[in-house]
Amino acid sequence: MLSNIGIGLVVLVLILSFLTIYAASLDLKTSSQSIQRGIYKLSLYQTTFTILSFFTLIIAFINSDFSLINVYENSHTSKPLFYKIAGTWGNHEGSLLLWINILVIFSYLFLVFNHKHNKKFRLYTLIFQNILILGFLFFLLLNSNPFNSIYPIPREGLGLNPILQDPALAIHPPLLYVGFVGCSIYFSAAMASMVSGYGGKLFAQSIKAWVQISWCFQTLGIIVGSIWAYYELGWGGFWFWDPVENASLLPWFAITALMHSLIVLEKRNTLHAWVIILCLLTFILSVTGTFLVRSGILNSVHTFASDPSRGIYILLFLLFMVFSALIIFFSTYQKEVYKFNLKSRETFILANNWFMIFFLITVLIGMLYPIFLDVLTDIKISVGPPFFNIVIIPLVVPFLFLMAIGPNFSWIKSRNNNAYKILFLILGAVGINLLISNFFGKYSLLSNLIFIAAIFLFLHLFLDIKKFINKKNRFELPRIISHLGFGLLVFFIGINHQFSLEEDFNLKVGEIKKTNSYEINFEDIKITKSKNYKAIIGNFKLTNLKNNVVQYLGPEIRIYSNPETLTYEAAIKTKITSDLYLTMSNVSRSDYYNIKFQNKPFMIWIWISALMITLGGFTRLILKKNEN
């Protein structure tokens, strides 16, 4: 029954989308300045039914209604309630329904909140957005329907992968999807802008909040994914340049570039074409990323199970999107003359865009090169972390430098001579860096440069904060927070990378291992029983040889019964100064356990700085809201 309700609701949404496009096209021709009431109603109904369809699926999961194939494949009666609900979007079909929900909700909200803007523009946005919605609806109904039913109804479900039962993993997809799919609205708005001629400053104002929202959630989604990887995967790492991670990074670079360029568009009414290109690019990258990940064309740590027809559909849809965007762009493109004075804020924002695009292309090449090579020459290679690290990290140095001095330049033309200030602060940064390297220990030349650039940024921000306290210019606050967060992130990742310690050794119960700074005593093991697993917990006593502080860590080997799987849970002690990370695994056919011990300085500061970057974005949203 739920199956029929679900499909019925989706078909209703489909019909409403068609009606919306039709009604909007008609309304375009009328001479009235405001949009017909009926269109608002259509959009509201569309939103309501879409949300209802998603609730239907959630209810099916909560009730473990295995008459739906999707619930059968991805759930189990003994799953805790929270994870049953999270199972709704933790699979391909369910997440597609979530995508459609976000597309529809954003479509409605954009319509309602932009009532001060040009009617034609808003109608065209609605039309383009609904074309996207139709595309996804057809994909769902024809290929990836979460409401498909199965008969006879199975008594129990298949979906009890313990690794997927984790809180961070449960909220990570929705966060990321608001980012990914939120881009759709300004893709449609950009198309509408080109077709209706409504551009420039007013266009920037209409999409500003949406760009900011999608950026905030995209950033947060990526961070939560990294935090999950660190706590759950057992390697102590948080970023692996994995194709799925990279797929989420591509739109992030574009949205960040767009966010900065919008400032220029709004302030100086220039960079029209570039902003439009970025708007189009962002959603195109989101869908491309989805294609690469879900079609199975890339192999990764966390691919969804692949079905070739899925990939074909997404590819065709992507082609359609890209072609339409390109054709409309080239038809309406008007040459712009950019006249930027070198010593102006616009230049520095453009510089940010250069770097973002460069990083984007690097990651894109890293992802696509193996595919192209395989198809053209049958050679299989994989492009790993060394490539991304070598190309991207050195460029972070000039990037930080420009980030520091950029905001000090005024619009149009900067009259101050900042050269002395810059020189003075560079010397200051070098000095502080020397202090740090004396205190912590020597590090590589590249690390030195990175620290100097980061400290240089901090010094500038410190002066900015002083100015902020005096002048109380609230609109500087988001930038200060986000840029500070970014600088701190780079800084702490640098320290963590340089000064992390890792030791690999084998111990039997009762044995002791001494490293340079720690004594690790494998005291005993105990067995515990939980709802769906048994665990062998190792009791380790760690003594810090420098200050004799004692800690206990309990890494686990978990044996799940349904299906019978083995997982290794790391024991992590997070302190302000560092994380202690211990993983224990069994060595085949012996009494030995293999122990991996890591001391990772300032780990929690990495998360704090990353969250700070997001905080800046949310601060900006709040300030903008209060302004209205």
Q: Which residues bind other proteins (CB under 8 A)?
A: 291, 295-297, 299, 305-306, 308, 311-312, 315, 318-319, 322-323, 326-327, 330-331, 337, 354, 358, 361-362, 365-366, 368-369, 371-372, 374-376, 378, 381-384, 386-387, 390-391, 504-507, 511, 513, 525, 527, 534, 536, 557, 559, 563-566, 583, 585-592, 594, 596
Helix (H) or strand (E) holding 406: none
Shortest reach from residue 311's CB to other proteins, in Å: 5
Residues contacting residue 149 through CB under 8 Å, at least 6 positions apart: 3, 67, 68, 69
Q: Which is nearer to other proteins, 493 or 535 (CB)?
A: 535
Q: How far apart are CA 212 and CA 218, in angstroms?
A: 10
Our CB check for other proteins shows the closer of 266 and 511 to be: 511
Minimum CB separation from other proteins for residue 326, in Å?
7
| CA 168 to mean position of chain CA atoms | 13
Residue closer to other proteins by CB (options 280, 489) is 280
The nearest distance, CB 114 to other proteins, in angstroms, is: 29
Shortest distance in whole angstroms from residue 380 CB to other proteins: 8
- Between 326 and 423, CB nearer to other proteins: 326
Provide the CA 149 distance to its chain's centre, in angstroms.
33
Which is nearer to other proteins, 534 or 541 (by Cβ)? 534
Residue 110 or 518 having the CB closest to other proteins: 518
Task: Count Cβ atoms within 10 A of the Cβ of residue 590 and give its class: 0-12 exposed, 13-18 middle, 19 or more buried.
Answer: exposed
The distance of closest approach from Cβ of residue 160 to other proteins in the complex, given in angstroms and rounded to an integer, is: 13
Q: 305: part of which helix (H) or strand (E)? A: none
In the complex with other proteins, which residue's Cβ is closer, 156 or 374?
374
Q: Is 296 left (phi over 0), alpha (psi -120 to 50) or beta?
A: left
C-alpha–C-alpha distance, residues 175 and 95, integer Å: 12
Q: What is the Cα 464 distance to its own chain's centre?
A: 29
3-state secondary structure of 1: coil
Of 80 and 308, CB closest to other proteins: 308
CB of 303: closest distance to other proteins in angstroms?
8
Least distance between other proteins and beta carbon 21 (Å): 24
Q: How far is the CB of 227 from other proteins (least distance, A)?
A: 22
Among residues 343, 247, 328, 329, the alpha carbon closest in space to that of 288 is found at: 247
CB-wise, 319 or 550, nearer to other proteins? 319
Could you give the CA distance from residue 607 to residue 348 in angstroms, rounded to a whole number?
28
Least distance in Å: CB of 458 to other proteins?
Answer: 28
521, 543, 575, 593 from 538: Cα distances, Å: 10, 16, 21, 10
Three-state SS across 70-126?
A: HHHHHCCCCCCHHHHHHCCCCCHHHHHHHHHHHHHHHHHHHHHHCCCCCHHHHHHHH
Q: How many CB atoms are located within 10 Å of the residue 441 CB?
A: 9
Q: Report which of 41, 22, 201, 210 is spatially closest to residue 118, judged by C-alpha positions.
A: 201
Element (H, E) at 300: none
Closest to other proteins by CB, 449 or 495: 449
Report in angstroms how near the CB of residue 375 gets to other proteins at its nearest. 5
Closer Cβ to other proteins, 564 or 627, answer by number: 564
Residue pair 118/196 in contact (Cβ under 8 Å)? The answer is yes
> In 3-state terms, what secondary structure has residue 508?
coil
Taking the least distance from each CB to other proteins, the nearer of 578 and 583 is: 583
User: Which residue type occupies 203?
Assistant: F
- CB nearer to other proteins: pick between 308 and 431: 308
Phi, psi of 591 (to 5 degrees): -90, 0
> 342: which residues sit within 8 A by CB, 6+ positions away?
none
Q: Residue 116 Cβ, how far from other proteins at the closest point, in Å?
A: 32
Indicate the residue among 419 and 527 with the shorter CB distance to other proteins: 527
Report the DSSP pairing between strands 564-569 and 571-574: unpaired
We find the least distance from the C-beta atom of residue 485 to other proteins, in angstroms, to be 27
Residue 541 burial by CB count (10 A; 0-12/13-18/19+): exposed, middle or buried? Answer: middle
Kindly state the smallest distance separating residue 593's Cβ from other proteins, in Å: 9
Beta pairing partners, 600: 579
Element (H, E) at 557: strand 556-561
Closer CB to other proteins, residue 260 or residue 310? 310
CB of 312 to other proteins, least distance (A): 6
Give a three-class secondary structure readout of 208-267: HHHHHHHHHHHHHHHHHHHHHHHHHCCCCCCCCCCHHHHHHHHHHHHHHHHHHHHHHHHH
Terminus-to-terminus CA distance in the chain, angstroms? Answer: 46
Q: From the CB of 123, what's the least distance to other proteins, in Å?
A: 24
